[in-house]
Structure 1
Amino acid sequence: MKPYILCLLAVLSCLACTSQNVDKAVESETDPVEQVYPLLDAANSRWFFFASACRPFGMVTLNPDTQNEGAWGSGYKYNTDTIKGFSHIHGWQISGVSVLPVSYASYDEGILDDYFSSFSHDKEDAQVGYHKVELDRYNIKAELTSSTRVGFHRYTFGNQNEKGIVFKLSGALGPSDIKDGSLTLIDEYTLHGQMTNEPTRRRPKDFVVYFNVKFDQPIKSIEKGSSDNQIVTFEKDVDQLQMKVAISYTSNENAALNLETEIPDWDFDQIVADSKSEWNQMLGRIKITDEDETQKRRFYTDLWHGLQGRRIISDVNGAYPDYTGEEPRIGKLPLDENGKPKFNHYNSDSFWGAQWTINTLWGLLYPDIYNEFVNSLLVYYKDGGIIPRGPSGGNYTYVMTGSSATPFLVSAYQKGIRDYDVETLYEGLKKNHLSKGIMSKAGYEHKTSLGGGLDHYIENGYVPYPIPEGNFGYHQDGASLTLEYAYQDWTLAQLAKALGKTEDYNIFSERAQNYANVYDAESGWMRPKSIDGVWKEPFDPYQYENGFNESNGAQSTWFVGHDIPGLAKLMGGNEVAVKKLNAQFEEAAKLDFTPGNSHERGEDPTRARIPINYGNQPSIQTAFIFNQLGRPDLTQLWTSKITKQTFGGLSPETGYSGDEDQGLMGSLAVIIKLGIFQMNGGTEANPIYEFGSPLFSNVEMALQNGKTLTFEKKGNGIYIDHVSFNGKKLDNLHISHDELNQGGVLIFNMKETP
């Protein structure tokens, strides 16, 4: 029996034992929000992965936490049966405001520490914009929803005991520890509070969270004990209690303003409806028509994840936290003629791998969101002098490596997304690519600029492994750094060319060829090289890391998206390259193209020996390399298999191999299923979309310029016979951004054999 059939049977069995109403969702043709399955991959969760009661890119992501400690395996983890709180912030390196309703016969301060409750999935309902669970210990039905910056709770009590809500004000909460938590009674219905996220390995400074709390029932008391936690109590005759919790990263006053602006009333059901409506507007930009209802559900879940993870950190009035300097300050975003912020400011994990994921999805379907992120990154540049590769808490984290924002920003410009100061953008990017720029920093290297080996790269044409100066951060893997820098240099060269900066274009184009300096012709692989020019010995192309960043040599050898013909020439020609890469795919297919269903398994030395890995970013472009080697049939073959084997499941146990980095893998799944891809991240002038094997019979896209773009699949099989656009047969298996952006009908005429 084929693996994807086994996976489907497991999915159906799992769905039957949850409160997700599959039949209702399948019947809905107009509401894509009802197709989303929030529990996808929830058994392999991480702090910022799972979401339910949230808005697109919402500051508030309100959902139950079953694990409180650690960035990985924390937050909502499906196979843990105890709820430890409802947290409002599940962001990249930030957390906060965890609460849990309780009931008790008589108050004992011991409940401030021992307040967790078991729950059952049989009495749970996780939807987009809404989450319901029943706390078995207290006989409480808890319902959660939110606006962008406000969490809204509705608790229904099943007994006449005393009632209260415990506020967790210290201790481990996801990626960071909480300290200095406090609650202040403003009036009998209102609280102010604040807490501080302590520094992490990635986020180097304290980060303060402010919150404003409103209840629809009068507060009886606030109790404190030996614990830092506190409990807000209510009269025992309260049968139902509603609570609103507004977040701000600038002040209690702005938290209160966020609350009054976004949820001034007490209509919980209306906020749920508003949340679904907002998500429908975002997800509804794509309408899928196909007989495979399971794959439609998975597609909308993928799309939903493509709009998750990266979170707003600015208030409704445009105030935002700036921690880039010596002392924290409150910044202010520019306002429009109506006094509203022109864009939002964001917290974000790295853009490492975004060139093959959100660049394409956002650039085609969400240019409005894309433009906001460009402006947000420029705010960081204005404040701190660096365009970040992953900002958290209003500050730099130096997450991952290189200048991963360069392809993201260049692709925006090349696709006509340009509502910002382009010269300032170029100035910031060029600075990142020069000595002491962000390329000079290894992962989480906060105080020095040596771990990235950029000076060696500029002087010698490659980053040595090991870096002779020593260890200063993470991911000091010279071969991968060389490949990343070369690709990113090429993308910056394209922007320099577009802006008429010929000298810079020539410099960065020449640097873009440095990838060849870590190619070892004798072994046929990219290979780490010492400062003395000596190849690493012993060398095993399937050994995890040891010169390669979250990958191995077999996977990273193909990280040359800007010059596949040049890479093939180094290997001895297209035929040799095709044979080599196809053999890697044949082996990887036996493992469903991933080393396991979680990030931890992907780092296991044995599992990590997989030759192609679609569970992490470094080799997710490889199926489309065959297009550029003259074998589009192999691109079509392998993309069809990846679609089903890697991104076809629909259960808590599978989804993205546990490494869904804030929309990157969800976006990848979407674009592969649409049958399009951009090998160099859409960074050339008038970027092209090359074709794979599309999954669905009909896809209708509402573009933001008012045009409609339709993809149709005709005929059986996974192989493309020919493609036509607006009635004209295309000469090549690709099409430009300008053409697609004008709307029309793209028809894939399929066949069963190559």
Structure 2
Amino acid sequence: MLLTDLKKITSKYKKGLQFLFFLATAALYTDVVYAQQQNLIPYVQPFSGTSASTTLASQHIEDKTERLANTIPAVAPPFSMTQWTPQTQLTEKKCLAPYYYNNKKFYGFRATHWISGSCTQDYGSFTIMPISGQLKTNAAQYAENYVHENEVSTPSYYKLKLPRHQLLTEITASLRSGIMRITALKTDSVYILVTPNSDQNKGFIQVNTEKGEISGYNPVHRIYQGWGEPAGFSGYFFIRFKKAFTSAGVYSEGHIFKQQNISNKKDIGAFAGFKLQKGEQLIVYSGTSFTSIDAAKANLESEIKNEDFDAVLARTNQIWEKSLLQISITDTNEKGKKIFYTALYHAMQHPRLYNDVDGKYPQFDGKYQNKTINKGNYYDDFSMWDIYRAQLPLMELLKPNLANSFVNSMVLKGQQGGWLPIFPCWNSYTAAMIGDHATAFIASAYNKGIRNYDINEAYRLMRQNAFQMPDSADYLNGKGRRGINSYLKYGYIPQEDSIPNAFHKREQVSRTLEYAYDDYALASIAKDLGKEADYRQLLKRSLNYQNIFDSNVGMVRGRFSNGSWYKPFYPDHREPYITEGTPRQYTFYVPHDMPGLIKLMGGSKNLENELDSLFDKKEYWHGNEPGHQIPFLYNYTPSPWKTQMQVSRILAEEYGEGAGGLSGNDDAGQMSAWYVFAALGFYPVDPVSGNYQLTSPLFKKTTISFSNGKKLTIIAIKKSKKSIYISKISLNGRPFTKNQIRHQSLVQGGKLIFYLQDQPATL
């Protein structure tokens, strides 16, 4: 076992070193068996996270930007190429989501590639806006004042009444395409405006009056690394209507032009005009692609073609019901179920499908070159620093075949770009965050038996990141580990190395800690592949966290190349050598070697005391990822009941109903995945190990259906409503006395029973 070997290496090498009901869709279900299944879509609250947080825990946060979860009410099947959202923001600028709940203007339906819950930027998007009366092409003139009472939103459907334009709009979607139904509430002229959303005044749009089509593209630009440079692909779209035009044209900055196309000007767009009678409906079909307009058309023809709106909606409903029903809850806690299924919805947005129906996708970092995947699908938008912790492990648990495609996509990126990417978004290299967690993710999947890819090629790419420094051009492009030379030379990254060529500069201690974890992750694969020398060297390097632990203060601390410590030391302040946190918070990031950390801290009781201090000082910050494992670390102390206490508190205080239901940035579903795991009663503190730390389940009965056909039923038997503390556990009728459970034990199915009481107890 890796832990045993780690202990040996430690001994040998220690160097001090928010709810809206779903309307009128039940009649769409024709399958009798399916109709008998539990309807879970009404529990999902797509507006959750679209306004400033109103959760109890968020109210002490002074910086309001830290209270924005930045999610959107996305309409699409899970892990789609394109999500559809009502648009209340015109820009594709960084940290501005397409939709905010408190905005008052509606600008149309955006086919978006916003990374849910992020502070990045939208890209390659376009917007469809229906208006009536006189033709207007200036956004300030055609924008609709809207109220939430006119909205209905589910994962598969959005409806909005436009009072000024007297139009009822509805939208649903497939993986790569959308269908909109517009009902005229009065007899009038109706115009459809289509806008590529380029902040760089780039893009192209054309109208084909004879065929009744509009098509175009919005070029994608990079962010973080190579900021503003072309990303090597565009967001393409193809639109057709189930009714002939009466007029059409293109425009820019509110001016209408007679030509059939326009490109590379400010605020370009195209319009199609219709005459609709009261009650008449206009159907708009839209296809999207990342490779070409023809591919966008082919995607539409394959997925929707000329289907009826209700038929597409019924199919997407079924897809979501099936996905949500993988976890079935039996409980009277309706609020908890709303939060849970909303979290599961948010955890199933990304990574993003990138290939067309024929397998074609833009080559990674590829300068407008395309590749074809012959088996499975290709994905991108891996907010890796966030999602390797729980969101990707949740997919490893629920959808291993999908997780396999994720790994294979990472390998393909490495092969095409020459280096395994650190934080691949916009199908490009970035040095946006720290760590090398593609390695941690691949190891996590591999160690759980998810292995339908070329592991030797994956290992080659991971090893290259761990041992080599790219040349200057590749390094500037975002390839390789930041600060790898310093890390290899000193066993930590000293303060002298400011990490200049990265979005996050400095942060040397956090980088050291996370590289140590990634080395441990790679060591686990090296051992399995029989690469003994690599294994021992990597395992030794996994102890590098010891090199930046100052025993005099009992925490991690900035260190210079000569061994001296950074002064002054402020344990609870944001320090330049720590990523988005404090030294106290980051000290607990040694998920792979808790016994070693405990020894440095002076024993498990001291670990407990330090954890107590963190929570007593209110220094635990759930709104960001580096501390997500911390509440579960009490399982390594004499008082595991404190994990149960703190996790129960966080579930109650950090998550809620309504638009303010998330207390921090959701980060591509990581915050939401944390809730899912914690509510189930287990969490992957160290995803690579395949172990989950146990806590008390939130619901009376939960059943997880695995892809292997087996089911795990988790039961919480409570003495009262206040019971949150575990008195005993049984697994398949036998006593279970551990604080953790193996992945393979879960997916084998059976019955896991937690007996809960009002007062703490020791397992």
TM-score (norm 1): 0.87
**Following TM superposition, by how much is the alpha carbon of 1:451 offset from its aligned partner in structure 2, in angstroms?**
8.2
Give 1:3's aligned residue.
none
Query: Kindly tell me: are residues 470 and 744 of structure 1, through their superposed partners in 2, closer, same or farther at Cα, counting changes over 3 Å?
Result: closer
Q: Distance in 2 between matches of 1:748 and 1:119?
A: 48
Partner secondary structure for residue 352 of structure 1: helix
Query: Kindly tell me: are residues 195 and 80 of structure 1, through their superposed partners in 2, closer, same or farther at Cα, counting changes over 3 Å?
Result: same
Give 1:294's aligned residue.
335
Give 1:49's aligned residue.
71
Query: Kindly tell me: are residues 635 and 178 of structure 1, through their superposed partners in 2, closer, same or farther at Cα, counting changes over 3 Å?
Result: farther
Deviations 1:22-63 (Å, cap 9, x if unpaired)?
A: 9x9xx9970222211111111149797313321111112011
Deviations 1:401-440 (Å, cap 9, x if unpaired)?
A: 22111111111111111111111111111111122269x9
Give 1:60's aligned residue.
82
Give 2:695's aligned residue.
692
Partner secondary structure for residue 530 of structure 2: coil
Deviations 1:165-216 (Å, cap 9, x if unpaired)?
A: 11223543xxxx4612222417332233222133333564243122111100
Query: For residue 235 of structure 1, what is the amino acid of its counterpart?
Result: F
User: Which of 292, 296, 306 lines up with 1:255 in the alignment?
Assistant: 296
Give 2:440's aligned residue.
407
User: Which of 630, 642, 663 lines up with 1:622 in the alignment?
Assistant: 630
Q: Distance in 2 between matches of 1:448 and 1:410?
A: 22
Q: Is the 8 A contact 1:289 1:697 kept in 2?
A: yes
Give 1:501's aligned residue.
531
Q: Does 1:236 align with 2:275?
A: yes
Query: Kindly tell me: are residues 552 and 90 of structure 1, through their superposed partners in 2, closer, same or farther at Cα, counting changes over 3 Å?
Result: same
Q: Distance in 2 between matches of 1:450 and 1:370?
A: 23
**Following TM superposition, by how much is the alpha carbon of 1:260 offset from its aligned partner in structure 2, in angstroms?**
0.6
Partner secondary structure for residue 275 of structure 1: helix
**Following TM superposition, by how much is the alpha carbon of 1:466 offset from its aligned partner in structure 2, in angstroms?**
4.7
Q: Is the 8 A contact 2:111 2:127 kept in 1?
A: yes
Query: Kindly tell me: are residues 367 and 526 of structure 1, through their superposed partners in 2, closer, same or farther at Cα, counting changes over 3 Å?
Result: same
Give 2:133's aligned residue.
104
Deviations 1:435-471 (Å, cap 9, x if unpaired)?
A: 2269x99xx9743779821111111011122525745
Q: Distance in 2 between matches of 1:255 and 1:21?
A: 30
Query: Kindly tell me: are residues 309 and 65 of structure 1, through their superposed partners in 2, closer, same or farther at Cα, counting changes over 3 Å?
Result: farther
Give 2:258's aligned residue.
none
**Following TM superposition, by how much is the alpha carbon of 1:394 offset from its aligned partner in structure 2, in angstroms?**
2.6
Give 2:113's aligned residue.
90
Q: Is the 8 A contact 2:73 2:153 kept in 1?
A: no
Q: Does 1:128 align with 2:122?
A: no
**Following TM superposition, by how much is the alpha carbon of 1:247 offset from its aligned partner in structure 2, in angstroms?**
0.4
Query: For residue 219 of structure 1, what is the amino acid of its counterpart?
Result: F
Q: Does 1:205 align with 2:244?
A: no
Deviations 1:224-256 (Å, cap 9, x if unpaired)?
A: 344243342323235321111100111111111
Q: Does 1:220 align with 2:250?
A: no
**Following TM superposition, by how much is the alpha carbon of 1:112 offset from its aligned partner in structure 2, in angstroms?**
6.1
Query: For residue 260 of structure 1, what is the amino acid of its counterpart?
Result: E
Give 2:262's aligned residue.
none
Give 1:749's aligned residue.
755
Q: Distance in 1 between matches of 2:446 and 2:663?
A: 30
Q: Does 1:195 align with 2:228?
A: no
Structure 2 counterparts to residues 149-168 of structure 1, below 5 A: 149-168=176-195
Q: Does 1:265 align with 2:295?
A: no
Number of aligned residue pairs = 692
Identity of aligned residues (%): 30
Q: Does 1:722 align with 2:728?
A: yes
Q: Distance in 1 between matches of 2:387 and 2:221?
A: 28
Q: Distance in 1 between matches of 2:141 and 2:69?
A: 22
Q: Distance in 2 between matches of 1:701 and 1:19?
A: 25
Query: Kindly tell me: are residues 571 and 748 of structure 1, through their superposed partners in 2, closer, same or farther at Cα, counting changes over 3 Å?
Result: same
Query: Kindly tell me: are residues 252 and 225 of structure 1, through their superposed partners in 2, closer, same or farther at Cα, counting changes over 3 Å?
Result: closer
Query: Kindly tell me: are residues 579 and 519 of structure 1, through their superposed partners in 2, closer, same or farther at Cα, counting changes over 3 Å?
Result: same
Q: Distance in 1 between matches of 2:204 and 2:51?
A: 30
User: Which of 710, 715, 720 lines up with 2:713 in the alignment?
Assistant: 710
Deviations 1:58-109 (Å, cap 9, x if unpaired)?
A: 112011111233332421100111112211123344241112111123x45x
Partner secondary structure for residue 433 of structure 1: helix
**Following TM superposition, by how much is the alpha carbon of 1:310 offset from its aligned partner in structure 2, in angstroms?**
2.2
CA RMSD of aligned residues (A): 2.5
Give 1:139's aligned residue.
166
Deviations 1:649-707 (Å, cap 9, x if unpaired)?
A: 111113141x11112111111001111012211x23xx222211211110111111111
**Following TM superposition, by how much is the alpha carbon of 1:626 offset from its aligned partner in structure 2, in angstroms?**
1.1
- Where relative contact order (Cα < 8 A, 6+ residues apart) is larger, the structure is 2
User: Which of 509, 512, 517 lines up with 2:547 in the alignment?
Assistant: 517
Partner secondary structure for residue 86 of structure 1: strand
Gaps in structure 1 of 5+ consecutive residues: 1-10, 335-341, 589-610
Q: Is the 8 A contact 2:222 2:428 kept in 1?
A: no
Q: Distance in 1 between matches of 2:283 and 2:609?
A: 63
Structure 2 counterparts to residues 450-529 of structure 1, below 5 A: 452-467=482-497, 470=500, 472-529=502-559
Q: Is the 8 A contact 1:345 1:376 kept in 2?
A: yes
Q: Distance in 2 between matches of 1:120 and 1:742?
A: 49
Q: Is the 8 A contact 2:647 2:678 kept in 1?
A: yes
Deviations 1:307-344 (Å, cap 9, x if unpaired)?
A: 1132111100000011424x32110001xxxxxxx211
Q: Is the 8 A contact 2:714 2:752 kept in 1?
A: yes
Q: 197-206 or 303-312: which moved more?
A: 197-206
Q: Distance in 1 between matches of 2:475 and 2:73?
A: 30
Structure 2 counterparts to residues 179-190 of structure 1, below 5 A: 179-185=202-208, 187-190=210-213
Structure 2 counterparts to residues 347-496 of structure 1, below 5 A: 347-436=380-469, 446-447=476-477, 452-467=482-497, 470=500, 472-496=502-526
Q: Distance in 1 between matches of 2:79 and 2:313?
A: 16
Deviations 1:481-512 (Å, cap 9, x if unpaired)?
A: 01000111111111111111111110110101
**Following TM superposition, by how much is the alpha carbon of 1:397 offset from its aligned partner in structure 2, in angstroms?**
2.3
Q: Is the 8 A contact 1:112 1:229 kept in 2?
A: no
Q: Is the 8 A contact 1:286 1:702 kept in 2?
A: yes
Q: Is the 8 A contact 2:49 2:659 kept in 1?
A: yes
Q: Does 1:282 align with 2:309?
A: no
Partner secondary structure for residue 45 of structure 2: coil
Q: Is the 8 A contact 1:542 1:554 kept in 2?
A: yes
Q: 286-295 or 60-69: which moved more?
A: 60-69
Gaps in structure 2 of 5+ consecutive residues: 1-17, 27-34, 53-66, 116-120, 254-266
Query: Kindly tell me: are residues 330 and 688 of structure 1, through their superposed partners in 2, closer, same or farther at Cα, counting changes over 3 Å?
Result: same
Structure 2 counterparts to residues 319-338 of structure 1, below 5 A: 319-325=360-366, 327-334=367-374
Query: Kindly tell me: are residues 544 and 534 of structure 1, through their superposed partners in 2, closer, same or farther at Cα, counting changes over 3 Å?
Result: same
Q: Distance in 2 between matches of 1:119 and 1:581?
A: 47
Partner secondary structure for residue 522 of structure 1: coil
Give 2:259's aligned residue.
none
Q: Distance in 2 between matches of 1:449 and 1:664?
A: 24
Give 1:40's aligned residue.
48
Partner secondary structure for residue 187 of structure 1: coil
**Following TM superposition, by how much is the alpha carbon of 1:567 offset from its aligned partner in structure 2, in angstroms?**
1.1
Structure 2 counterparts to residues 307-318 of structure 1, below 5 A: 307-318=348-359
Q: Distance in 2 between matches of 1:651 and 1:112?
A: 29
